[in-house]
């Protein structure tokens, strides 16, 4: 591995740790000041920002796919908490779909070197073995469909595969809603 890649991966790991710590700190702070005591209080706080709240969240969702430093499940749950099950679902869906398409295009443009900068070589190599087979599209669809699966890297891998943009978009449009419904139901009925 080139020194550039090691430095970039170390930087991404540090950013991931920092963002996770900040997310935990935000949740603790929010609990202390009562924002998370009720959905209504949280929604009122977000409404104070007007259109900027949902727009910021959409951008956050898109960016977290392109630069996977925030755990995707955590941000999906945050969307449901902040905007409720319906609007949380919609904002999650739109943001994640946009981010997935951007990741696909970035991989098409910059290829394997970009993937090796963003993800561990072992993870990239694991999925590279699948793109030469007919199983890849099935694996990709399952990765999009199943909550907690590594769908961010799969979007990048799809970008260097022979999968067409049209098929990619169809899989994302069909698979993402089912995962997001799971997160919405999880928030509503479990938590």
pLDDT tops 70 at residue 39: no
Total of domains in the chain: 1
Of these ranges, 16-20, 160-164, 184-188, the one predicted with the greatest mean pLDDT is 160-164
**Residues 9, 3: Cα–Cα separation, whole Å:** 10
Alpha helices in the chain (DSSP H): 3-33, 39-47, 52-66, 72-118, 121-131, 135-145, 151-160, 165-185
Q: Report the first-to-last Cα separation within the chain, whole angstroms.
A: 43
Q: Higher model confidence: residue 13 or residue 87?
A: 87
**Residues 54, 119: Cα–Cα separation, whole Å:** 29
pLDDT confidence of residue 37:
58
pLDDT tops 60 at residue 3: no
Confidence of residue 140 (pLDDT cuts 50, 70, 90): very high
Site of tokens 């430093």: 69
pLDDT confidence of residue 189:
67
Per DSSP, the residues of 100-115 read HHHHHHHHHHHHHHHH
Q: Which domain holds residue 123?
A: 3-190
pLDDT tens digit sequence for 104-129: 999 999 999 989 888 888 989 988 88
**Residues 185, 33: Cα–Cα separation, whole Å:** 26
Residue 179: helix, strand or coil by DSSP?
A: helix
Q: What does residue 56 show for φ and ψ, rounded to 5 degrees?
A: -60, -45
pLDDT tops 70 at residue 85: yes
Contacts with 30 (C-beta within 8 Å, 6 or more apart), sequence order: 36, 42
Task: Find the mean pLDDT for residues 129-140.
Answer: 87
Please, what is the angle between helix 165-185 and helix 72-118, to 10°? 150
% of the chain residues with pLDDT over 90 = 26
pLDDT confidence of residue 165:
94
**Residues 113, 21: Cα–Cα separation, whole Å:** 29
Whole-angstrom Cα Rg for the chain: 17
Chain CA centroid to CA 169, Å: 15
Q: Which of 50-54, 117-121, 163-167, 169-173 has the lowest mean pLDDT?
A: 50-54
- Give pTM, 2 decimals: 0.75
% of the chain residues with pLDDT over 70 = 75
pLDDT confidence of residue 41:
64
pLDDT tens digit sequence for 40-78: 665 666 667 777 888 888 887 888 888 776 666 667 777
pLDDT confidence of residue 163:
94
Structure tokens at 190: 């479990």
pLDDT confidence of residue 149:
79
């Amino acid at each position: 591995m080139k020194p550039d890649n090691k430095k970039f991966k170390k930087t991404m790991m540090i950013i991931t740790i920092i963002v996770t710590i900040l997310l935990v700190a935000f949740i603790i702070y929010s609990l202390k000041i009562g924002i998370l005591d009720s959905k209504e209080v949280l929604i009122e706080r977000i409404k104070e920002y007007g259109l900027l709240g949902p727009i910021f969240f959409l951008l956050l969702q898109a960016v977290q796919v392109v630069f996977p430093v925030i755990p995707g499940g955590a941000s999906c749950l945050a969307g449901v908490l902040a905007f409720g099950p319906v609007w949380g679902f919609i904002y999650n869906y739109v943001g994640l779909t946009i981010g997935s398409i951007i990741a696909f295009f970035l991989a098409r443009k910059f290829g394997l070197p970009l993937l090796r900068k963003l993800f561990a070589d072992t993870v990239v190599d694991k999925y590279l073995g699948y793109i030469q087979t007919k199983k890849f599209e099935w694996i990709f669809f399952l990765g999009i469909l199943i909550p907690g699966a590594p769908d961010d890297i799969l979007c990048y891998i799809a970008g260097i595969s022979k999968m067409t943009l049209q098929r990619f978009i169809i899989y994302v449009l069909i698979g993402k809603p089912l995962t997001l419904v799971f997160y919405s139901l999880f928030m509503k009925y479990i938590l």
